[in-house]
Amino acid sequence: KQEVTQIPAALSVPEGENLVLNCSFTDSAIYNLQWFRQDPGKGLTSLLLIQSSQREQTSGRLNASLDKSSGRSTLYIAASQPGDSATYLCAVRREGGSYIPTFGRGTSLIVHP
């Protein structure tokens, strides 16, 4: 059974820092890995999707990498801003016909001015 772990559970940093959020998974037979952002009281917004054949994806100040062999993905946030404050979740979808992604518990990020 796939297990997804996100470390750290919470993070508080000053504005301007470069951040790395971690996501690890136990079964490397994945179809894709997706990073989400969730603001308080809101739904999940898709940030980046990495297919199993890809190593990384970039969108603006965000860069997500994938290392299937070690069961890890990292979300890199450059030059953090207070508006980046949110909970970040990763989800892994298994290859071979499963429609069900497995979610991590998320990292709660606070960027203070």
Residues at the contact surface with another protein, assessed by CB under 8 A: 31-32, 34, 36, 41-46, 49, 51, 89, 91, 93, 97, 99-101, 103-106
Cβ proximity to another protein: between 105 and 112 the closer is 105
Q: How far is CA 20 from the centre of its chain?
A: 10
Closest to 6 in 3D by CA, of 99, 69, 87: 87
Cβ proximity to another protein: between 92 and 111 the closer is 92
Residue bearing tokens 């690890």: 24
Within 10 A of 19 (CB to CB), how many other CB atoms are there? 19
Cβ proximity to another protein: between 99 and 113 the closer is 99
